[in-house]
Amino acid sequence: MILPTLRQLQFLVALGDTGSFSRAAEACHVTQPTLSAGIKELEDLLGVKLAEREARGARLTHAGELAVRQASALMNDAHALVQSVQSAGALLTGPFHLGAIPTIAPFVLPQTVRALSRAYPDLKLYLHEDKTARLVDQLRTRTLDAALIALPWDAPGIESLALSDDEFVFAAPPSHPLARKNGLSPEDLKDEEVLLLEDGHCLRDHALSICRMRTGEAKDQVAATSLGTLVNMVAGGLGVSLLPRLAVDHGITTGSDIAVREFVRPVIGRQIGIAWRAGSPREADARKIGEIVREQLAAPVR
């Protein structure tokens, strides 16, 4: 059996990314005829049409879309092979793609990046912010090497390391009765309009579990797109909410007219953890980054 070459697969992935033969050729640093010939050779080898030329570029066929997904994974594996051999066991050298969810990224990444740049000057770190489900998909497709997410999160083929507990605190307008109540507990929220993040944010699911609400019960509520928006909604008197201690300690409520209260018994809303693809050659790097993140989380907030 004759197999495609990595060069042919690179041409196809570039065509899928750019949607244009000319832009794909430019991305691969070859002439357009060279790229077109490579795609044609790949089509002949596979016995199927992969792309159709159109007036404004190129369109992948169904077979072409499937081939691009598989080719992308193979190309990422090839890059990982080169990186792992070149590093020869050295930790945190070369490019590393690190993802983080929006409710963790702004409060953890700045100090983590500074610590990594000081300790590992040969590391070239690329940061990606997205919701958990998409980060996990990118781990599986080798687009990301590791991701900072909230645990628990069960995903087949993904391994994780818990780094720190992050408790919830209560947030409400200063005039709200619960803002002045002693002995505050989650049960006090059962009759309240609890504001949440929109669907897709794992913090929403954690808050729902604390409030003992089902997703359907919160379906018609106004939802926030970010923690900053959530704080503004509370300040505007639209309801009360639960905020992660991590965000509050880093000043998410600074300048907002809201009261923040701890529960009489700390309520652990989530664990902050780092995840990677099972069997990844960058597992040791992911674990080392996790150690550094843990140190930053334990350090006093400036």
Rounded to the nearest 5 degrees, what angle is found at the Cα of 116, between the Cα atoms of 115 and 119? 85
Tens-digit pLDDT profile for residues 164-175: 999 989 999 999
Tens-digit pLDDT profile for residues 63-84: 999 999 999 989 888 877 776 6
Amino acid 177 reads: P
Tens-digit pLDDT profile for residues 90-120: 789 889 999 999 999 999 999 999 999 999 9
Tokens of 89: 């066991």
CA distance 74 to 110: 32
Give the residue range(s) of CATH 3.40.190.290 domains in the chain: 94-302
pTM of the model: 0.69
Tens-digit pLDDT profile for residues 146-198: 999 998 888 889 999 999 999 989 999 999 999 888 888 888 888 888 888 77
* Across 222-246, average pLDDT: 86
Tokens of 68: 């691009």
Tokens of 161: 């390391």
DSSP 5: P
pLDDT, residue 87, reads 60
> Candidates 1.20.140.10, 1.10.10.10, 3.40.50.2000, 3.20.20.70; correct CATH number of 6-85?
1.10.10.10
Q: Which residues contact 57 (CB under 8 A, 6 or more apart)?
A: 18, 19, 20, 21
Decide if pLDDT at 216 tops 70: no
Q: What fold is seen in the domain 94-302?
A: D-Maltodextrin-Binding Protein; domain 2 (3.40.190)
Q: How confident is the model at residue 200 (pLDDT cuts 50, 70, 90)?
A: low
**% of residues, the chain, pLDDT over 90:** 55
CA distance 146 to 163: 14
